[in-house]
Amino acid sequence: MSFVFQTTRSVLCEPGSSARIGELAAGLGCRKVAFITDRTVLELGLAAAALNGLKAAGIEVWVCAEVQPDPPESILLAAVEEAKRQGVDGVVSVGGGSSMDTAKLVAVLTRAEQPLSQMYGVGLVTGERLPLILAPTTAGTGSEVTPISIITIGENDKKGVVSPQLLPDWAVLDAELTMGLPRAVTAATGIDAMVHAIEAYTTKLKKNPVSDCLAREALRLLAGNIRTACFEPGNVEARSNMLLGSMLAGMAFANAPCAAVHALAYPLGGFFHVPHGLSNALVLPFVLDYNMPVAETLYDEIAPIIFPGKRGADLPGAFVALREELGMPTTLREVGISHNHLPMMVENAMTQTRLLVNNPREMTPEAALDVYEKAL
C-alpha cells in the first residue's frame, strides 16, 4: 500500500464559530486581512459575526465582496492588486466555493512573485502564502479542506490550480451560515458534495483507505440529511450534518481526485453559467451508467449507504429520482443547452485531463457525447 494524505491543519466545527475568526486570525499574527466574499453573502449578514470578531480582535479589514460564481480570473487579479496596495498580511473568506477559491489564490498571489498563468495545473505553485482562514456558507465544495482553486479564464474556460499551499490554516465550519441557503442551492451543493465522495471512492489512481473512510461517512451524512436540509431549512442538525459531510467529502477528493462527472460538468458552468452542483447533477446518472461495467463492485459498496436497500446498478436511476424529489432541473434543455452546443461541450470537457485521468473507465469523446445526449 502506498499513498499520501494531506488536509487542512486545523478545523473548528461549532454553530456560531465564525465569530471566533478574529481570535484565530490574531493567533496567526494577522494585523490587517483581506476579507473575500460576495455581495449576497454580505447583504444577507452572513459575514457580520466574522467581521465583528475581527474588529474585536483589533484586526483591520479590507472587504472585497466582488466575487461572482465560477470566479473570473479578472476579479481575482484585481483583488490581488488591491490587497497588495492595502498591505494585508492575511486572508479570510466567508462564502461559497467561489469566494473561498478566490481567497486561496489571493493569499498566494499577494505574497508570491510567480505569475498566476504559471500556477494552473498540479503542484506548480512555488511560493508561500499569507495566513488563510476559510468558512464555507454552502455545504458543498469542501474547498476549505482542498488544495484546489477553480478559476474561470476569459469567458468560459475553467482551470484549476492544485497545490498544497492552497490548504488554509483553519477551516471554520459554522452551520449557522448555511441556515438560509435557498432550497435550489442546498440541493445543488449537496449533490456536488455527494459527487465528490462518489468520485473519490471510485477514482482510478489515488484511491486510498483514508479517503475511502471519509467518502463513506460523507455519503452517510449527506444522503441522510439532504432531504431534511431542503425541506426543513431551519433544521440545525441537518444543516450541521450537511456541512460536516461536505467537508469530509472534500478531504476525500483532495487526496483521491474527482473524475469524469466533474470534467463533463465544467462546460455547463463555463459556457452556460449553470451552478456547479447542478451541472454535476445533470450529467451524474449517465456517467455512472458509463462507468458501471468497470466500477460496479465499488458502486455496490456505496449504493446502500446512499440509498438503503439499493445496489450499484440502481444508482443512476436512484439519482434521477432524487433530483426530481429535490425539485432540481433534470435536463440540459431546461438550462438552455441544445443539441448543437454538444460538440463544443465535448471538446471543452476533453481538455480536463487533470480530472479525466482519474475516471475508472476511459472517457472518450464519443462516450462524452453520448452522456450529453442522454442528459439533454
Interface residue with ligand NAD among 276, 303, 358, 363 (CB under 6 A) is: 276
Interface residue with ligand NAD among 24, 108, 161, 185 (CB under 6 A) is: 185
Of Fe ion, ligand NAD, none, which one does residue 38 interact with (CB within 5 to 8 Å by kind)?
ligand NAD
| Strand ranges in 37-130 using DSSP code E only, listed in sequence order | 60-64, 90-95, 121-122
Unique residue bearing C-alpha cell 431546461: 334
Helix (H) or strand (E) holding 159: strand 157-162
Between the alpha carbon of residue 71 and those of residues 66, 67, 191, 195, 301, the distances in Å are 9, 6, 20, 21, 35
Contacts of ligand NAD in 192-211 (CB under 6 A): none
Contacts of ligand NAD in 11-30 (CB under 6 A): none
- Contact, 312 vs 285, CB < 8 A? no
CA 375/CA 236 separation, integer angstroms: 34
Q: What x/- string results for residues 79 through 118 when contact with ligand NAD is judged by CB under 6 A?
A: ----------------xxxxx-x-----------------
Of ligand NAD, Fe ion, none, which one does residue 352 interact with (CB within 5 to 8 Å by kind)?
none
Residues 6+ apart with CB under 8 A from 83: 34, 62, 64, 91, 106, 110
**Is 167 an interacting residue with respect to ligand NAD (CB under 6 A)?**
no
**Is 159 an interacting residue with respect to ligand NAD (CB under 6 A)?**
no
State the nearest-atom distance from the C-beta of 125 to ligand NAD, in Å: 14
State the nearest-atom distance from the C-beta of 343 to Fe ion, in Å: 24
**Is 101 an interacting residue with respect to Fe ion (CB under 5 A)?**
no
Of Fe ion, ligand NAD, none, which one does residue 150 interact with (CB within 5 to 8 Å by kind)?
ligand NAD
State the nearest-atom distance from the C-beta of 70 to ligand NAD, in Å: 5
Interface residue with ligand NAD among 30, 36, 46, 295 (CB under 6 A) is: 46
Of Fe ion, ligand NAD, none, which one does residue 185 interact with (CB within 5 to 8 Å by kind)?
ligand NAD
Of ligand NAD, Fe ion, none, which one does residue 351 interact with (CB within 5 to 8 Å by kind)?
none
State the nearest-atom distance from the C-beta of 282 to Fe ion, in Å: 13
Between 95 and 245, name the residue whose CB sits nearer to ligand NAD.
Answer: 95
**Is 181 an interacting residue with respect to ligand NAD (CB under 6 A)?**
yes
CA 82/CA 78 separation, integer angstroms: 6
**Is 176 an interacting residue with respect to Fe ion (CB under 5 A)?**
no
Interface residue with ligand NAD among 108, 175, 177, 242 (CB under 6 A) is: 177
- Count of beta carbons in the 10 Å neighbourhood of residue 196: 34
What is the DSSP code (8-state) at residue 149? E
Nearest Cα to Cα of residue 8 among 148, 243, 171, 136 = 171
Contacts of ligand NAD in 122-151 (CB under 6 A): 137-138, 140-143, 146, 148-150
Phi, psi of 164 (to 5 degrees): -60, -25
**Is 192 an interacting residue with respect to Fe ion (CB under 5 A)?**
yes
Burial class (CB in 10 A: 0-12, 13-18, 19+), 262: buried
CA 180/CA 95 separation, integer angstroms: 13
**Is 48 an interacting residue with respect to ligand NAD (CB under 6 A)?**
no
CA 295/CA 92 separation, integer angstroms: 39
CA 361/CA 128 separation, integer angstroms: 36
State the nearest-atom distance from the C-beta of 321 to Fe ion, in Å: 21
CA 149/CA 98 separation, integer angstroms: 9
Between 133 and 261, name the residue whose CB sits nearer to Fe ion.
Answer: 261
Total of residues contacting ligand NAD (CB under 6 A): 32
In terms of phi and psi (left: phi > 0; alpha: psi -120 to 50; beta: otherwise), the region of 327 is left
Applying CB under 6 A, which residues contact ligand NAD?
Answer: 38, 40-41, 44, 46, 69-71, 95-99, 101, 137-138, 140-143, 146, 148-150, 177-178, 180-181, 185, 189, 276-277
Applying CB under 5 A, which residues contact Fe ion?
Answer: 192
